[in-house]
Structure 1
Amino acid sequence: MPNLHSFPSTPFIRWFVKDNQSLDRDIRLKLLKGPFTSRAALVAAGMNTLLVCSVAVVLHPTLFFISWLVADMVIWITRWFLLQRFIASGKSRRRYATDLSLLFGLIWAAEIGIGTAGCIISQDPVLQVLACTSAVSMNGAIAMRNQGIPRYAFTQILLTDIPMKLATLFQPEPMLRVLILQAPMYLTGLWVLLNNLNANLTKAYISEAQSTHSATHDKLTGVLNRLGILNMMTALLSSKANGDSVFCVLCLDLDGFKKINDANGHATGDRVLVSFSEMVTRVVRKGDAVARIGGDEFIVLMPDTDKISASLIADRIIKSLEDYTGKNANYEGLGVSIGITETSPSELGSVGQILSRADVAMYNAKSAGKNCFRFG
């Protein structure tokens, strides 16, 4: 499932999500997704705070509590709008969508903290119990929902908790000030919990990424394997079905590889395959995909390209391999036959049909004398 959010753009908001800078970009995006998932959780949080605010207004219809109720409703509606308009709709690529969503999450936490402080100061035991219970439960929800970004989550907890603790200094019951003494243990415990949750979540995402990589990449060369390239081609066909771009597939087969492998041993053959895959990866464009689909056969997928560009790449691959074999006497006779097929939206076909055309073109190149390319 694609990430429906992006990294923050402003330095202020970026600071709150810098807990995992050393990780892969995709993993960091997954860790950031907490505030943008589960609309049900946002609804539940909104109903909870609305209930507390409403009870406060009913019991004490003062300007403070009326303002708290209005502010709570406005902030919740804004957060819901941001989630629906930019994130859930897939329009989060708008530059400040993520920043605004995270910023209003902080404002929401501060609003809860200030309102809870007002309930403490009111000296109403019903409000005090209701507001404190609500704040503590919200902190637990914050820790669970935003465990991927502990710095942001802990800031929300501080904004919720500190005003409540300080408010005990402005009411007459001295025993309530025990909450201030309790604060260091409570906050330390939540910080440890957040970091443990984050560590476990990070390990899970890393394991998932490693498992996916192992399933879609060739263990010897590190390039994509058959499954990996088939997945990419399937995705490309789906995205191009209603588009107007063409793409090319190159089927590569090493000529003379079996002879070299038999004469020099499998270790040498493996080095040839690794060197060839690295050479092809250097030659192709940044957005192209290279795969080893078995033995000495490779595939290059070139999105948004045509026969002319594909033929230039094929020619570079052939010449690069000639340079490689020229510097290694043991690899004399090694070459590459390349079959190229161009696919347009009007003749997409299936992945199997496209690969079959490229394969036939590759055998035509072999029949034409090897170490050349032909179109299918």
Structure 2
Amino acid sequence: MPNTVDFPTTPFIRWFVKDNEGLDRGTRLKLLEGPFTSRAALVAAGINTLLVCSVAVALHPTVFFISWLVVDMVIWIIRWFLLQRFVASDKPRFPYATDLSLFFGLLWAAEIGIGTAGCIISQDAVLQVLACTSAVSMTGAAAMRNQGVPRYAFMQILLMDIPMKLATLFQPEPILRVLILQAPMYLIGLWVLLNNLNANLTKAYVAETQSTHSATHDKLTGVLNRLGILNILTASLSAKVNEDKRFCVLCLDLDGFKKINDAYGHAAGDSVLVCFSAMISRVVRKGDAVARIGGDEFIVTMPDSDKASASLIAERIIKNLDEYTDRNPDYRGLGVSIGIAETLPLELSSVEQVLCRADIAMYNAKSAGKNCYRFG
């Protein structure tokens, strides 16, 4: 699956992918991936249109049909080159890559529509049947492949279908003009189909996102859970080995939390946990991660940081918790003990070793009088 797809930047092309704007960015990017995901689909479409164009040139070697064949091949080659940049992750990005890919998709659809119109006007029954059958199959393929961006898919369908229908006005067989009467029902049906397909695909992506979030986040506080933070720690250790970077891990445990739970009930304890999680999330840096790993135990990962940065964050957490207890007299006596483990460049450590060092440092902080931090 491509990992370089991004939203188009030009206003004209961006308008075609403005569907589902109420969704989060990640889900919208997944919906946009349709036009960029399959070499096989592009190859099949290219063979199909190439055959029709070649038959048209063989039967009627006119300037129009020869030009159609050349234009079709040039557009296909450009689209193939652009697709390669998205499917192959080692290919470098270039400016307006998404815009160009979507634009040439529209140009390809218009070229098919105009070529099909020429086949109808030619009055050649073989070409008429072959070209119309091909165009209809291409509209169905566009609907299925680009269901994540229905506005874009429908524009492709219009560019292929309308020239074909209008061409019936310029040939002598009147019965073919029935296609014009049929057009509204056909296009409305495709629009309804596109929106139904998009709704189902969107539901699937949203459900997948929610499932992933539930698996890696704590239900009470909304921060990461044990699985979520372990995934980040594993990735951080891998990045450190590959990039010679250091990072710090903070292990936090609330002091006096059990007394609050016993005195005021679990609802009050849950409120403290939610407030504490929110406070930590506000204090840490943008790239840091916060997790509740159970009870009143928390972990903070700080990539690309040293002891000075970790100390600053630990001091801010302690200070903010003190201010919180000052505002809430019932929670006086609540504190936090913090253990910090720093990993150095070229140091080979497992996730378990790093967490163990941070945990030992946290217990050293408790032994030192609580509501303070120590290094492992």
Instruction: Point out the more displaced range, 230-239 or 172-181.
Output: 230-239
The separation in 1 between residues aligned to 2:93 and 2:310, in whole angstroms, is: 32
Please report how far the alpha carbon of residue 288 of structure 1 lies from its aligned counterpart in structure 2 after TM superposition. Answer: 1.1
Question: Cα RMSD (Å) of the superposition?
Answer: 1.3
Instruction: Report what 2:299 is aligned to.
Output: 299
Seen in structure 2, the aligned counterparts of structure 1 residues 46 and 239 have a Cα distance that, compared at 3 Å, is farther
Q: List aligned pairs for 1:320-335, cutoff 5 A.
A: 320-335=320-335
Equivalent AA in structure 1 for residue 85 of structure 2:
R
Does the Cα contact within 8 Å between 1:142 and 1:157 map onto a contact in 2?
yes
Instruction: Report what 1:139 is aligned to.
Output: 139
Instruction: Point out the more displaced range, 342-351 or 242-251.
Output: 342-351
Please report how far the alpha carbon of residue 256 of structure 1 lies from its aligned counterpart in structure 2 after TM superposition. Answer: 0.9
Does the Cα contact within 8 Å between 1:87 and 1:97 map onto a contact in 2?
no
Seen in structure 2, the aligned counterparts of structure 1 residues 229 and 131 have a Cα distance that, compared at 3 Å, is same
Please report how far the alpha carbon of residue 95 of structure 1 lies from its aligned counterpart in structure 2 after TM superposition. Answer: 3.3
Instruction: Point out the more displaced range, 256-265 or 107-116.
Output: 256-265
Instruction: Report what 1:210 is aligned to.
Output: 210
Instruction: Report what 2:178 is aligned to.
Output: 178
Instruction: Report what 1:247 is aligned to.
Output: 247
Count of paired positions: 376
Please report how far the alpha carbon of residue 344 of structure 1 lies from its aligned counterpart in structure 2 after TM superposition. Answer: 3.0
Q: List aligned pairs for 1:262-273, cutoff 5 A.
A: 262-273=262-273
The separation in 1 between residues aligned to 2:201 and 2:335, in whole angstroms, is: 47
Please report how far the alpha carbon of residue 231 of structure 1 lies from its aligned counterpart in structure 2 after TM superposition. Answer: 1.2
- Alpha-carbon displacement from aligned partner over 1:155-196 (angstroms, at most 9, x marks no partner): 000001011011111111111111111000000000000000
Matched, 1:165 2:132: no
Instruction: Report what 1:260 is aligned to.
Output: 260
The separation in 1 between residues aligned to 2:260 and 2:60, in whole angstroms, is: 89
Equivalent AA in structure 1 for residue 227 of structure 2:
L
Equivalent AA in structure 1 for residue 259 of structure 2:
K
Matched, 1:57 2:57: yes
The separation in 1 between residues aligned to 2:37 and 2:297, in whole angstroms, is: 43
Give the alignment's TM-score, normalised by structure 1. 0.97
The separation in 1 between residues aligned to 2:94 and 2:330, in whole angstroms, is: 56
The separation in 2 between residues aligned to 1:147 and 1:216, in whole angstroms, is: 29
Q: List aligned pairs for 1:79-90, cutoff 5 A.
A: 79-89=79-89
Please report how far the alpha carbon of residue 342 of structure 1 lies from its aligned counterpart in structure 2 after TM superposition. Answer: 1.4
Does the Cα contact within 8 Å between 1:5 and 1:93 map onto a contact in 2?
no
Instruction: Report what 1:226 is aligned to.
Output: 226
Give the alignment's TM-score, normalised by structure 2. 0.97
Instruction: Report what 2:24 is aligned to.
Output: 24
The separation in 2 between residues aligned to 1:143 and 1:240, in whole angstroms, is: 45
Does the Cα contact within 8 Å between 1:337 and 1:372 map onto a contact in 2?
yes
Does the Cα contact within 8 Å between 2:2 and 2:88 map onto a contact in 1?
no
Seen in structure 2, the aligned counterparts of structure 1 residues 289 and 93 have a Cα distance that, compared at 3 Å, is farther
The separation in 2 between residues aligned to 1:345 and 1:180, in whole angstroms, is: 70
- Alpha-carbon displacement from aligned partner over 1:56-89 (angstroms, at most 9, x marks no partner): 1111111111111111111001001011135533
Does the Cα contact within 8 Å between 1:86 and 1:92 map onto a contact in 2?
no
Equivalent AA in structure 1 for residue 285 of structure 2:
R
Does the Cα contact within 8 Å between 2:226 and 2:292 map onto a contact in 1?
yes
The separation in 1 between residues aligned to 2:13 and 2:285, in whole angstroms, is: 35
Equivalent AA in structure 2 for residue 141 of structure 1:
A
Aligned-partner SS, 1:20: coil
Instruction: Point out the more displaced range, 3-12 or 104-113.
Output: 3-12
What is the percent sequence identity of the aligned residues?
82
- Alpha-carbon displacement from aligned partner over 1:311-367 (angstroms, at most 9, x marks no partner): 100000000001111111111211001111112341142211111111111111111
Matched, 1:156 2:126: no
Equivalent AA in structure 1 for residue 323 of structure 2:
D
Equivalent AA in structure 2 for residue 41 of structure 1:
A
- Alpha-carbon displacement from aligned partner over 1:92-119 (angstroms, at most 9, x marks no partner): 7533111111111000100101111111
Instruction: Report what 1:369 is aligned to.
Output: 369
Does the Cα contact within 8 Å between 1:4 and 1:92 map onto a contact in 2?
no
The separation in 2 between residues aligned to 1:90 and 1:179, in whole angstroms, is: 47
Instruction: Report what 1:106 is aligned to.
Output: 106
Please report how far the alpha carbon of residue 90 of structure 1 lies from its aligned counterpart in structure 2 after TM superposition. Answer: 5.4
Stretches of structure 1 lacking an aligned partner (at least 5 in a row): none
